[in-house]
Amino acid sequence: MKVLVTGGAGFIGANFVLRVRETRPDWEVTVLDALTYAGNRASLAPVEGQIEFVEGSIADADLVERLVAATDLVVHFAAESHNDNSLDNPWPFMESNIIGTYRLLEAVRKHGKRIHHISTDEVYGDLELDDPARFTESTPLNPSSPYSASKGAADLLVRAWIRSFRIQATLSNCSNNYGPRQHVEKFIPRQITGILDGVRPKLYGAGANVRDWIHVDDHNDAVIAIIERGRLGETYLIGADGERNNREIIALLLELMGKPADWFEHVNDRPGHDLRYAIDSSKLRAETGWAPRYQDIRAGLRQTIDWYAANEAWWRTTKAATEQVYARLGR
């Protein structure tokens, strides 16, 4: 099978490519990635020579059409992915996440190919901290930030192309990923690399916000399960029952990295900051048999810390510029 992976130089996309090379060696992989500030070719170094890499944008209709025509399946990860950036400058999110998805859908429609669209639990908005409810596939879309609104818009385009044009498509909405090769702008790698640099973790507001953490390999195994065993036209929620508030994550990182429990600082909160995400993944588990392998977040964080400690050359190149952006935003 020929597989076109958009955003394959980003965090989840690159880990997907590595996982596919390991577990599905007969899949022929082409990566299409614009190499924005978030893309890093070094993430694909272990599979250099085993995949094709095309530098370009999913918003480029001609390029997208040519690549889609030559593939069997598109796995669509490419997106602007950081909420704080979307609050600072929403435009790139509109172009990549909405127009880029539209270009892919039109090419898929024209050439009769299959697409799996990667999305986020953030399209459902947030839950109260004391609400026992979790998101399901039938939760109404109610996004809060320009990022999550652009992902919700893309999801609606995919659903409309399924209904009106009968394209072969599946969608998945996953909770917060962690693991190796995540950009240092994101919560967990920002704190790990900060601690390695002797800088205290930065907690937005009071830190009561809850995220439902999943290891990136578990997310990608679920995507492979949906590709192989999911029903066309369906949406699947991906989550590993990993709810933790941000204070708990910082406490775990400090403990695992040998720092005192109070060695962190509070910084300005994110405007419109979603309170809590929580995923009910029973549909995915029942229909595909998928289950997460990383049941213990402490072990997953240990592996992630070890990866950043051993791969400073990978993250050092982006650390200073990232912290300059945060300094401007007061976070």
Q: In this structure, are residues 101 and 141 in contact, taking their beta carbons and an 8 Å threshold?
A: no
Minimal distance, residue 260 CB to ligand NAD, in Å = 28
For residue 79, state whether it binds ligand NAD (rule: CB under 6 A). Answer: yes
Amino acid at 13: G
Shortest Å distance, C-beta 61 to ligand DAU: 25
Answer for which of 3, 4, 5, 12 binds ligand NAD (CB under 6 A) is 12
Specify the stretch interacting with ligand NAD by CB under 6 A; choose among 18-26, 32-40, 103-111, 317-325.
32-40
**Catalytic residue flag (residue 121):** yes
**Catalytic residue, candidates 102, 124, 147, 178:** 147
Nearer to ligand DAU, 162 or 279 (CB): 279
For ligand NAD, the binding residues in 254-293 under the rule CB under 6 A are none
| Residue from 65, 328, 306 nearest 196 by CA | 306
In the chain the beta strands, taken as DSSP E runs, fall at 2-6, 28-33, 52-55, 73-76, 114-120, 168-174, 177-178, 202-204, 210-212, 214-215, 235-238, 243-245, 265-267
Q: Is residue 122 flagged as an active site residue?
A: yes
Furthest-apart CA atoms within the chain: distance in Å: 58
Amino acid in the structure at residue 224? I
CA–CA gap between residue 310 and residue 60 (Å, rounded): 37
The one of ligand DAU, ligand NAD, none whose footprint includes residue 47, by CB under 5 to 8 A per kind, is none
Site string for ligand NAD, 176-195 (x = CB under 6 A): xx-----x------------
Sole binder of ligand NAD in the list 17, 29, 34, 240 (CB under 6 A) = 34
Does the footprint of ligand DAU cover residue 122 (CB under 6 A)? yes
Alpha-carbon Rg for the chain, nearest whole angstrom, is 19
Distance CA 93, CA 83 (A): 10
Q: For the chain, what percentages of helix, strand and coil (3-state, to nearest 5) are there?
A: 45, 15, 35
Q: Which residue is nearest to ligand DAU (CB)?
A: 120
Could you give the CA distance from residue 238 to residue 292 in angstroms, rounded to a whole number? 10
Stretch 82-121 residues interacting with ligand NAD (CB under 6 A): 96, 100, 118, 120
Give the 3-state secondary structure of residue 195. Answer: helix
Judged by CB under 6 A, which of 21, 63, 65, 204 binds ligand DAU? 204
Cα–Cα distance between 120 and 311 in angstroms, integer?
Answer: 27
CA dist 259 and 253 (Å) reads 8
Nearer to ligand DAU, 175 or 193 (CB): 175
- Which range of residues in 73-81, 202-210, 272-280, 303-311 is near ligand NAD by CB under 6 A? 73-81
Whether the CB-CB separation of 261 and 251 falls below 8 Å is answered with yes
- Stretch binding ligand DAU (CB under 6 A), from 27-35, 196-204, 213-221, 307-315: 196-204
Chain residues in the site for ligand DAU (CB under 6 A): 81-83, 120-122, 175-176, 186-187, 190, 202-204, 207, 209, 211, 246, 270, 277
What are the residues binding ligand NAD (CB under 6 A)? 6-7, 9-13, 32-36, 38-39, 57-59, 77-81, 96, 100, 118, 120, 151, 174, 176-177, 183
Catalytic residues: 121-122, 147
